[in-house]
Amino acid sequence: MIRYLLLPWRVAPLLLVGTFTIVLALCIRARFAGIFPAVLLVSWFFKYCFALLDSAVAGEEEPPVLSVEMINPFDEQRPLAQAVLIGAGWALASWLGAKLGRPALFASGALMLAVLPASVAVLGITGNPFRAAYPVALGALIRGTGRDYAWLLIATLLCASGLYALAQTEMPLGLLVALVLLAFLTVFALIGGAVHENRFALGVATLTRAERRAERDQREHANERNRMLDRSFGHARLGRIRDAWAEIERWTLEHCHDAPDRRARAHEEYAALIESASRWDDPQIADRLVSDHLGRLLTQRETGTALDVLERRLASNPRFRPASPAHATRLRELAALAGRRSLHRALGEPGPGGTAAKGPTNNGSSATE
């Protein structure tokens, strides 16, 4: 949450705070003549607060810059809706206090203050003021954010109490206005950050810029892999197993190397290649892919994953055996040690003709070829 705490201290928010501080200070000194421009500036400021919240929810690294769209009076109505909700909450607390006494006033006021960050978050996410006042929606957001919601309450109370204490001093008006603006920006940034960090628990469908870029790269990578598989499949249909394997071998050398930070990616790549090749009529390419993958997994001492890969391949092709006799022996030993008896028996069964069934040889040819 510290990253979101520092978000208002970037260049764009600080420039906005500096500009609005000067103008608001002038409006305050102008008394009645400054009421209308002050209301206009406050409206623009809270529209920027919700824009900052949206930026934090989306996980953007940089805060937004105030734009013409943000100051459009007909474009953004969330600040007005939130003001109406706060006014309604204050009216309800006052009514309860008048009917039931001061304890009811303090209790209802404390409750309203406790759910205020949740109300802002729900309104920021949905834009629906009715959901922002719906207790079930507020409770779901509080549960979804978990302990982060406690930080929101602490930050809200600290900002409110700190500003109240400073207002009792003889602090210059401009500095006090700037601190008030920064306090609001900080609270909105923290609310957006809490939603972003718990977006999966809250079911918020949002992606950061880095996640969107990664998703686009992954989609392009999958398309490129499919084109390669189409070329390999074309060779396999014509019986050119060597050429079919050459296409895949070039791909695995480029995308499935043994760098430690790429092992998980290599495993996913092999899984995608094996899944596609397993649907081909000729099992030779899929068998060799599995043999190649098993060899890499054994070298990397990922024995549990190797047994899982082998078991899945035997389920789709019971005649499969690892191309390397040493790998087959090692996998049979591992299956016995892991207590996977069916896998151990399958590796010990002789293939057709009394010998172990073979996949394609290491040079890309097969026993039938």
pLDDT in tens, 62-78: 888 877 766 666 677 88
Q: Is the pLDDT of residue 367 over 50?
A: no
Together in a domain, 140 and 268: no
Domain that holds residue 150: 2-206
| Same-domain status, 179 and 307 | no
Residues 127 and 240 in one domain: no
Does the structure show a pLDDT above 70 at 124? yes
Examine residue 10 and state whether it is found in any structural domain, yes or no.
Answer: yes
pLDDT higher than 60, residue 118: yes
CA distance linking residue 119 with residue 185, whole number of Å: 16
**Measured between alpha carbons, how far is 120 from 191 in angstroms, rounded to an integer?**
8
Q: Is the pLDDT of residue 363 over 70?
A: no
Burial class (CB within 10 angstroms; exposed 0-12, middle 13-18, buried 19+) of 57: buried
CA distance 55 to 61: 8
Pick 206 or 289 by higher pLDDT: 289
Q: Where are the beta strands (DSSP E) in 108-188?
A: none
3-state class (DSSP) for residue 170: coil
Window from 165-179, 205-219, 266-280, 304-318 with minimum mean pLDDT: 205-219
Check whether residue 54 and residue 149 sit in a common domain. yes
| Residue 187: inside a domain | yes
In a domain, 271, yes or no: yes
Same domain? For 194 and 51 the reply is yes
60 and 173 share one domain: yes
Same domain, 126 and 193: yes
Report yes or no on 319 lying in a domain: yes
The mean pLDDT value for 121-149 works out to: 88
E strands present in the chain: none
Q: Label residue 258 by pLDDT band (50, 70, 90).
A: low
Q: What is the pTM of this model?
A: 0.57
The reply to whether 180 and 329 lie within a common domain is no
What pLDDT digit, counting tens, does each position of 27-53 carry? Answer: 888 888 888 888 888 888 888 888 888
Q: Is 171 a residue whose pLDDT tops 70?
A: yes
Q: Six-digit token pair at 231?
A: 């070329």
Total domains in the fold of the chain: 2
Q: Which among 150, 185, 206 is the end of a domain? A: 206
pLDDT in tens, 199-217: 888 887 766 656 667 777 8
The model's confidence at residue 185, banded by pLDDT at 50, 70 and 90, is very high
Does 368 map to a domain?
Answer: no
The Cα–Cα gap between 195 and 206 comes to 10
| Distance from C-alpha of 42 to C-alpha of 179, rounded to nearest angstrom | 14
pLDDT given at position 106: 86
**331-360: pLDDT as tens digits:** 888 888 888 888 888 877 544 433 344 434
pLDDT at res. 357: 40
CA–CA dist 133, 123 (Å, integer): 9
Contact 158, 166 (CB under 8 A): no
DSSP state of 281: S
> Do 156 and 194 form a contact (C-beta atoms < 8 A)?
no
From 187, 206, 225, the end of a domain falls on 206
**Are 80 and 133 in the same domain?**
yes
The answer to whether 188 and 53 are in contact (CB under 8 A) is yes
Same domain, 48 and 195: yes
Query: What pLDDT does 164 receive?
Result: 82
Q: Same structural domain for residues 201 and 254?
A: no
- Mark which of 206, 229, 252 sits at the end of a domain: 206
Which residues touch 134 (CB under 8 Å, ≥6 apart)?
122
What does the pLDDT average to over 130-158?
89
237 — pLDDT class (breaks 50, 70, 90): confident
Whether 175 is in a domain gets the answer yes
Query: Do the domain assignments include residue 134?
Result: yes
Given a contact cutoff of 8 angstroms between Cβ atoms, the answer to whether 34 and 27 are in contact is yes
In terms of domains, do 249 and 165 share one?
no
Query: Could you tell me which of 280, 304, 281, 282 has the C-alpha nearest to residue 294?
Result: 304
Residue 212, in any domain of the structure: no
